[in-house]
């Protein structure tokens, strides 16, 4: 199998490439070729045993897409995007990257006769906007209330239509907010969800810009990689006309996050969180969905964590060799 990852220098793309390099497989299928594309040359998966190609290229560039399609990868993972706050601040860039680049890729596949790859499209919970029920079902309408959400919703509709016409074999994955993200905060409005845990676990202060009763939907980076791996070999006939699904996750309040941090790392870690209300961030995240019925994805075999403590422990295992600023307490 030949796997191409667009957006391979991002956190999820990097972790996916590293997992493929470590195991030589994706979704149980052997991988013998790996193509990594991002606007900055991806410096990941160098230990991959098969053929590896890393390119610094922009998906909105026609030459980039033509070169990729010429290789005819079996699976294309489309992770390239600019995040919510940046897409809201820069309308032109948001549509160019998040919509125009996606459509250009789909159009190139439409014209590639005899070639129909599995395409994993990274979508978002931002496709849903208020008013919505407390627990959003799988068949809830797409009602985005941000430019980013609108761009992702349009991508989902294109994925459905181009799959229906047989130009590609699409699987759309609506990722939960991924937590705890390693590294530094990004420009996403949701970035603080990771910061209030990651920084204290590393002995550093963090800022909480919203109230502790704000609830959201989460999964770990490990689960995110698992979603893509499973989607790569899923029997897409089971999806029917609706190619995108909300992935399973954990519904938790900020208070739930902080209490899980306390259980895992103690009061000293929690004391590193500083409350500084930010009305702009609060107004964005308080309008986001809070809980989901993901029976459809569950039935198709997608899996995630079931508690926030588990999410924190995944971070400690994957990023800190199982160690935090304080000795972990025994698992009950």
Residue 55: exposed, middle, or buried by beta-carbon count in 10 A (0-12, 13-18, 19+)? middle
How far apart, in whole angstroms, are the C-alpha atoms of residue 307 and residue 219? Answer: 9
Q: What are the phi and psi torsion angles at 167 (to 5°)? A: -80, -25
Active site residue 148: yes
Provide the CB-side half-sphere exposure for 128 (13 A, CA): 29
Q: Give the residues across from 324 on adjacent strands.
A: none
Q: Which two three-digit tokens encode residue 246?
A: 């909300």
Ranges assigned E (strand) in 153-198: 169-175, 177-178
| Other beta carbons less than 10 A from residue 288's beta carbon | 23
Single out the catalytic residue among 148, 162, 193, 315: 148
DSSP H stretches of helix in 6-146: 11-23, 62-71, 84-89, 91-95, 101-110
Nearest to 126 by CA among 101, 100, 98: 98
Buried b (16+ CB within 10 A) or exposed e, 181-207: beeeebebbbbbbbbbbbbbbeeeebb
Contact status, residue 169 vs residue 115, Cβ threshold 8 Å: no
Q: What residues act catalytically?
A: 148
């Amino acid at each position: 199998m030949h796997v191409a990852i667009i957006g391979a220098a991002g956190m999820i793309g990097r972790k996916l490439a590293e997992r493929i390099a470590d195991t030589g497989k994706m979704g149980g299928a052997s991988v013998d070729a790996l193509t990594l594309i991002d606007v900055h040359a991806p410096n990941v998966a160098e230990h991959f045993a098969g053929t590896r190609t890393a390119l610094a290229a922009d998906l909105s560039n026609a030459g980039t897409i033509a070169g990729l399609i010429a290789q005819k990868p079996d699976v294309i993972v489309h992770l390239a995007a600019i995040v919510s706050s940046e897409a809201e601040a820069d309308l032109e860039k948001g549509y160019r990257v998040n919509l125009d680049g996606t459509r250009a890729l789909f159009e190139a596949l439409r014209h590639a006769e005899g070639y129909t790859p599995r395409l994993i499209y990274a979508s978002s919970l931002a496709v849903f906007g208020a008013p919505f029920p407390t627990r959003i079902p799988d068949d809830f309408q797409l009602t985005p209330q941000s430019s980013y959400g609108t761009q992702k919703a349009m991508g989902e509709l294109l994925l459905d239509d181009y799959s229906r016409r047989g130009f590609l074999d699409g699987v759309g994955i609506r990722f939960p907010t991924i937590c705890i993200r390693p590294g530094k905060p990004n420009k996403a409005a949701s970035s603080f969800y990771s910061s209030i845990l990651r920084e204290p676990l590393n002995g550093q202060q963090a800022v909480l810009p919203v109230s502790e009763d704000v609830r959201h939907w989460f999964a770990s980076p490990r689960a995110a990689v698992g979603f893509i791996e499973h989607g790569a070999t899923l029997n897409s006939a089971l999806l029917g006309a609706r190619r995108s699904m909300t992935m399973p996750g954990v519904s938790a309040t900020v208070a739930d996050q902080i209490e899980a941090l306390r259980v895992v790392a103690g009061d000293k870690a929690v004391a590193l969180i500083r409350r500084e209300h930010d009305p702009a961030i609060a107004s964005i995240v308080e309008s986001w969905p809070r809980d989901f019925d993901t029976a459809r994805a569950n039935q198709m075999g997608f899996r995630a964590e079931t508690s926030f403590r588990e999410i924190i422990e995944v971070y400690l295992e994957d990023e800190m060799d199982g160690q935090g600023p304080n000795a972990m307490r025994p698992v009950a």
